[in-house]
């Protein structure tokens, strides 16, 4: 039983690090996109990276959400805060999608 718990802690740490990395990547691409004017190469790369980062945030939130539902009592506060931040980004992405859809 102890080995299984250690593996889950390792998995949670990996999930936490990937969540922070994806969140930082999303924010960085958004900041570069805001400061790149007109149709320059920097803006095109930032738009592509923003699309990829948006997809990664959505995938991460689904995976982390399933993990959090299954193991909520044993998850750390840092993991929960990262899940909340990425869930906030996901909410904004969905709102933006629905805004352009109507």
8 A C-beta contact, residue 40 and residue 46? no
Q: How far apart (Å, rounded) are the C-alpha atoms in residues 44 and 29?
A: 11
Domain locations in the chain as residue ranges: 2-101
Residue 90 dihedral angles phi and psi, to the nearest 5°:
-65, -40
The structure's pTM equals 0.82
pLDDT digits (tens, 9 = 90+) for 16-69: 999 999 999 999 988 988 888 788 888 888 889 889 999 999 999 999 999 999
CA distances from residue 34 to 29, 30, 44, 68, 99 in whole angstroms, order as listed = 9, 6, 12, 33, 19
């Amino acid at each position: 039983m102890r080995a299984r718990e250690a593996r889950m802690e390792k998995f949670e740490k990996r999930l936490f690090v990937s969540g922070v990395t994806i969140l930082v990547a999303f924010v960085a691409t958004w900041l570069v996109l805001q400061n790149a004017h007109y149709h320059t190469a920097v803006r095109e790369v930032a738009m592509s990276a923003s699309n990829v980062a948006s997809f990664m945030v959505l995938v991460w939130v689904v995976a982390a959400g399933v993990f959090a539902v299954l193991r909520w009592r044993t998850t750390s506060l840092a993991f929960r805060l990262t899940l909340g931040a990425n869930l906030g980004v996901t909410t904004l992405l969905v709102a933006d999608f629905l805004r352009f859809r109507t």
